[in-house]
A and B are shown apart, each in its own frame.
Chain A
Amino acid sequence: MKLKNYRGFIILLLLLIIPLVAESNYLYSTLVIIGLYAIIVQGLGILMGYAGQVSFGHAAFFGLGGYTAAIISTRFHWPTLLALLASAILPGIIAGLIGRQTLKLRELYLALATLSFGILVHIFFNEGGELTGGPSGMSGIPNLSIGSFEFDSDQKFYLLVWLILLMLLIGIYNLVHSRTGRALCSIRESEYAAENAGIDCARLKLQAFVFSALLAGLAGGLYAFYVSFISPSPFSFHTSVQFVLMAVIGGLGTFWGPVIGAVVVVALNELLREIVPLLIPGAGGEYQIIIYGVILVGLMIFQPKGLSGMGQYFRIPLKKQLKADVKIRG
């Protein structure tokens, strides 16, 4: 195990201390949202960036996680930790059920199928009557607690979310640097060749899909406990597009891309909300959206492989590492 491979984790850990010094609730709550999105986009990144399968329906898994946690903890009064667990597992099961058929589709058709799944689930949240509380949603979700320890402040939640993200990142780091990660990439590159090399593509794609749904559901559960109120609006098609956007902006098929994408997209939204009214007096939300769009288009033109592609300017090329390897072998 080489320390330099874990450089990124160490930098992240150090960055996580800064908000604790700043002690601003606004910063905490923004970082909780970024952390939740990063969890979702990391999963989506495995599906899209590594296995090469598009999904425009991940807001649905996010929402299913949120509603599962809300319903189980308020209606059935399960311990919140169990409810959180269920909020990951149920979307995973649903992904397993729909994935078997859906993942046979390719590219645009897969995009359309996942998109319609997302819309369908969103309609279900709105029209769920007693079960989901309809358009006005459900309130009174209890605080998440482990034993007698309650996550009742922004600071505690911030630490919880980023700790979970950090653990997931380590697992995903292992995953993408393993035999399985390689197999996922080869599906993206040529499913035909991967299949003929003995890789069970259908099974692996399904596993990646279920994995990404588990993470989205987990983030949804955490979201429900954090906000303590849930309604259909944060889980619309628009949110699914945001997730895809974060994955692409960060860089598809890169390890740090999803985290970078989540940070940049959320931070950009927040910054524009502050800055635009200062620059253009009396500017409404529509100006924000226009500038937001221009910046994103600019990013895609000048950095089409995503922001984490910029890391190549700092990294030792693999070529050199390998030459060293070959030399050692004599």
Chain B
Amino acid sequence: MLLELSGVTKHFGGIAAVKDIGFRVAEGSIVALIGPNGAGKTTLFNIITGTLPPEKGLIVIKGRDIVGLKPFEIASAGITRTFQNLQLFSNMTVLENVMAGAHLRSKKGFLRSFFTFPGNCREERKIREESLTLLEDIGLVETAGLFASELPFGKQRLLEIARALASHPALVLLDEPAAGLNPAETEILTGYLKELKTKGTAMILIEHDMQTVMEAADRIVVLNFGQMIAEGTPAEIQANTEVIKAYLGEDEKIA
């Protein structure tokens, strides 16, 4: 197992934002995290990436407990993410955004950066090449020299994904990657995620578009009011009465 969560709990004031969450993510698989607004999906992402400390529970990646580590340490353990409300480096170019995402792929620190000529740095050239290739794959290479803020919204989403992938993580957390994309862009995205999966990158995906979820996910975890109400394959989830209740409400008996 790549990632195992068990008993993860976090309260905000008196309200359980997430309560007793436990599921697993296998290497190279896609797990979709669905649920109504306010179900605790993004909170769970914040907990996994170390932005919020959980009160209870275990989060284990590749056999290593990551609870209490700082976000940058968790990133170097192999988990990166995208953000629901974009967090691009707006005043940096598209290429620089991806190269910054590849921070963990090279080592040079403050002092060594000061004393080495940038043109003579093999590490730097390698990162640049890799980043351009990544941009090519995701269809952004033409815009490599633009500032991130100059991209249209859909492409900004794609850029966030590219940046999250640049460090070659074992697991990427995608927070509503298809939100705001048009149907054509969504299709490209779904295709890209599937291709990524075949290359061995695991993903946890928060998504409201059910077609994307059912198509892309190996397993689905359903949250409602911070509780995990179901977990299973797409077919199992579609047939689950609890889930239908959470999404569509209960049948009312007409007297």
Contact = CB atoms under 8 A, between A and B. Distances in A.
A2 B119 contact: yes
A315 interface: no
Contact of B117 (A1, A188, A207, A321): A1
Interface in A174-215: 174-175, 177-183, 185-186, 188-190, 192-201, 204, 207-208, 211
Main secondary structure of the interface of A (DSSP, over half): helix
B90 A204 contact: no
Interface stretch (B14-22, B139-147, B178-186): B139-147
A171 interface: yes
Given A195-B72, A199-B103, A201-B72, A322 B113 contact: no
Contacts of B166: 197
B89 interface: yes
Interface in A294-326: 317-323, 325-326
A312 to B, nearest CB: 13
Interface size class of A (residues with CB under 8 A): 35 or more
B100 interface: yes
Interface stretch (B54-62, B91-99, B205-213): B91-99
Interface in B76-102: 76, 80-81, 83, 87-93, 95-96, 99-101
Contacts of B103: 179, 182-183, 186, 197-199
B159 to A, nearest CB: 11
A180 B110 contact: yes
Contact of A180 (B83, B91, B108): B108
A172 interface: yes
A279 B109 CA distance: 54
A2 B118 CA distance: 11
A172 B142 CA distance: 30
B68 to A, nearest CB: 15
Interface string B106-148: 1011100111111111011001000010000000011011100
A5 interface: yes
B104 interface: yes
Contact of B113 (A178, A317, A325): A178
B71 interface: yes
A320 B144 CA distance: 10
A185 B89 CA distance: 8
26 contacts: A1-B119, A5-B119, A174-B117, A174-B118, A175-B110, A175-B114, A179-B108, A182-B92, A182-B100, A185-B100, A189-B89, A189-B92, A190-B87, A190-B89, A193-B83, A193-B89, A194-B89, A195-B51, A196-B71, A197-B101, A198-B103, A317-B145, A319-B146, A320-B145, A322-B95, A322-B145
Interface of A: 1-2, 5, 171-175, 177-183, 185-186, 188-190, 192-201, 204, 207-208, 211, 253, 317-323, 325-326, 329
Interface of B: 49, 51, 70-72, 75-76, 80-81, 83, 87-93, 95-96, 99-101, 103-104, 106, 108-110, 113-121, 123-124, 127, 132, 141-142, 144-146, 163-164, 166-167
